[in-house]
């Protein structure tokens, strides 16, 4: 059972103090007792805290490597590789994908359950922490790929510009935040399990069609304001969610005004 509500999670995402990671049996980077570990051979075996602090933690303050063409090509390849399929690229990826958008996360979960017919999908809430300079413990390495990808597209003279544009589009849609190398277990606040029949936690009303249109014993996926099996784009789905959110807002305001008049 979920500890946190959708509203609580959405607030953390909006304040940029948490992110979400979607994963299932097909994920190249599954959740293990070590947390999430990137697929690059560089991180095999999964780095201990001591090794991380010795070999990688300095990269939090030294971002020069993010100007390297090969590193940027790696980010493009990672972002366009999708969230569901095993990575085929030789050597794997140094990055782990997360999202700062609850609506996109629900869209992706429903898509995996409906289109790819996963038996279950997990959603992890991850602390997106800013550490004081005096902190001596383990610090993760987070990167917003959008500014990097936009500069890379503007500056590149050759190579696959179309793929870079796709990476920008995807990172923007999912509000993607990349983690370098590893997400340690201590940063994972909660993991919920989603199935076709049962959501990991209760969703706000605006995710669903009006109650009068629900079928008897209809599962949560079939009550959504979009039909996941139609494989709509996230842009289309987001429009439907926003339209429904506005309807719910107006209905709530009307009910509140009527209640005030009764007092």
What span, in angstroms and rounded, lies between the C-alpha atoms of 239 and 228?
14
Taking only the tens place, the pLDDT of each residue in 98-115 is 999 999 999 999 999 999
What span, in angstroms and rounded, lies between the C-alpha atoms of 170 and 147?
13
Label residue 158 by pLDDT band (50, 70, 90). Answer: low
Q: Of 109, 106, 150, 143, which is closest to residue 128 (Cα–Cα)?
A: 143
> Does 258 have pLDDT greater than 90?
no
> Does 233 have pLDDT greater than 60?
yes
Domains of the chain and CATH, by start: 6-201 (3.90.210), 203-263 (no CATH)
Query: Average pLDDT, stretch 165-181?
Result: 96
Report residue 26 as tokens.
């097909």
What span, in angstroms and rounded, lies between the C-alpha atoms of 122 and 200?
8
> Does 256 have pLDDT greater than 80?
no
Mean pLDDT of the chain: 91
* Pair 81, 93: CB distance under 8 Å: yes
H or E, element range at 243: helix 234-262
């Amino acid at each position: 059972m979920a500890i946190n509500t959708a509203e609580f999670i959405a607030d953390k995402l909006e304040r940029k103090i948490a992110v979400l990671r979607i994963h299932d049996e097909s994920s190249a980077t599954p959740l293990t007792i070590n947390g999430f570990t990137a697929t690059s051979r560089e991180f095999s075996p999964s780095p201990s805290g001591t090794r991380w602090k010795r070999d990688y933690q300095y990269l939090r303050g030294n971002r020069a490597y993010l100007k390297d063409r090969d590193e940027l090509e790696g980010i493009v390849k990672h972002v366009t590789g999708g969230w569901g399929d095993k990575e085929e690229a030789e050597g794997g990826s140094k990055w782990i994908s997360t999202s700062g958008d609850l609506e996109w996360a629900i869209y992706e979960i429903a898509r995996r359950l409906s289109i790819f017919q996963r038996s279950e999908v997990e959603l992890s809430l991850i602390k997106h922490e800013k550490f004081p300079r005096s902190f001596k413990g383990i610090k993760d390495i987070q990167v917003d790929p959008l500014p990097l990808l936009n500069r890379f597209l503007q500056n590149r003279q050759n190579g696959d510009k179309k793929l870079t544009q796709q990476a920008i589009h995807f990172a923007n849609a999912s509000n993607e935040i990349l983690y370098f190398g590893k997400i340690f277990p201590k940063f994972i606040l909660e993991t919920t399990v989603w199935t076709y029949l049962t959501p990991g936690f209760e969703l706000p009303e605006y995710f669903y069609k009006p109650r009068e249109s629900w079928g008897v014993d209809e599962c949560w996926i079939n009550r959504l304001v979009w039909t996941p099996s139609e494989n709509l784009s996230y842009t289309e789905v987001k429009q439907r969610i926003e339209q429904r959110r506005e309807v719910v807002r107006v209905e709530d305001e009307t009910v509140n005004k009527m209640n005030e008049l009764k007092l």
